[in-house]
């Protein structure tokens, strides 16, 4: 069965680093990938663009292809959204089909700070995407959790519905939303760091421009 993979993020804004990572992961894992913008809890720094604006940018970025699908369920839910709850919800929808959580290496390194993080392995596999400038060494408790779950053979993820960790060597692109927000604020264009769809409608990038 084709695995279902989830790629979450603030996507403030979604950029070529996200899209290429998701695309290459889809190819390597032969998976359907859902791109899931996160709602950011009130105690965290608010994204520059609103939830609705981030979802509009994502939809514009994904137009014209069907391998990466936008999924805005976390934005539609009231209150804080935890990945573990989203994964349980998806698990109920897909039965035994393999479910894969895609995480950039920086996000993966922060996993021990997530709500009920150990439970994530009961519900999904995790695929860690290499990211330039981020060490492949992880905190001890994460290395320990990984040791017994690590698989070298990507095809192994299809044999069970959850519980393994793989690392994906994707094309390294040193692009971050933080840097793009800085460029746009300075009146620069960031044209080729962003998907072309974001330039179709001037209102999409307006939240980042300085007027």
Q: Which residues bind ligand ATP (CB under 6 A)?
A: 9-12, 17-18, 21, 103-104, 106-107, 129, 131, 173, 175-178
Spatial contact of 16 and 113, defined as CB atoms under 8 Å apart: no
Q: How many CA atoms lie within 13 A of 10 on its CB side?
A: 16
**CB-nearer residue toward ligand ATP: 95 or 190:** 190
Q: Nearest distance from residue 95's CB to ligand ATP, in Å? A: 26
How many other C-beta atoms are found inside a 10 Å radius of the C-beta of residue 100? 24
Closest CA to 157 of 102, 104, 115: 102
Q: Taking the CA atoms of 46, 17, 108 and 120 in sequence, report the sign of the dihedral they define.
A: positive
**CB-nearer residue toward ligand ATP: 1 or 69:** 69
Q: Nearest distance from residue 97's CB to ligand ATP, in Å? A: 22
Q: Nearest distance from residue 149's CB to ligand ATP, in Å? A: 18
Q: Nearest distance from residue 12's CB to ligand ATP, in Å? A: 5
DSSP 8-state symbol, 152 = S
Q: Nearest distance from residue 153's CB to ligand ATP, in Å? A: 22
**CB-nearer residue toward ligand ATP: 89 or 130:** 130
In order, the DSSP letters of 91-115 are HHHHTTS-EEEEEEHHHHHTGGGST
**CB-nearer residue toward ligand ATP: 114 or 199:** 114
∠ CA 13-62-4, nearest 5°, is 105
Residue nearest ligand ATP, CB atom distance: 104
**CB-nearer residue toward ligand ATP: 3 or 104:** 104
């Amino acid at each position: 069965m084709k695995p279902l993979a989830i790629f979450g993020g603030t996507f403030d804004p979604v950029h070529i680093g996200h899209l290429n990572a998701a695309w290459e992961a889809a190819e390597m894992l032969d998976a359907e990938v859902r791109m899931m913008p996160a709602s950011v809890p009130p105690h965290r720094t608010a994204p520059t663009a609103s939830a609705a604006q981030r979802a509009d940018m994502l939809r514009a970025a994904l137009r014209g292809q069907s391998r990466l699908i936008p999924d805005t369920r976390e934005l539609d839910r009231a209150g804080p959204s935890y990945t573990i709850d989203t994964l349980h919800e998806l698990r109920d929808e897909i039965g035994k089909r393999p479910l894969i959580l895609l995480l950039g290496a920086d996000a993966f390194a922060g996993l021990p700070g997530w709500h009920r993080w150990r439970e994530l392995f009961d519900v999904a596999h995790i695929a860690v995407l290499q990211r330039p400038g981020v060490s492949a060494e992880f905190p001890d408790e994460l290395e320990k959790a990984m040791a017994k779950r690590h698989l070298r053979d990507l095809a192994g993820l299809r044999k069970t519905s959850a519980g393994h960790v793989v690392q994906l060597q994707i094309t390294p692109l040193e692009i971050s939303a933080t840097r793009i927000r800085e460029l746009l604020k300075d009146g620069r264009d960031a044209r080729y760091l962003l998907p072309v769809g974001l330039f179709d409608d001037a209102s999409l990038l307006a939240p980042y421009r300085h007027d």
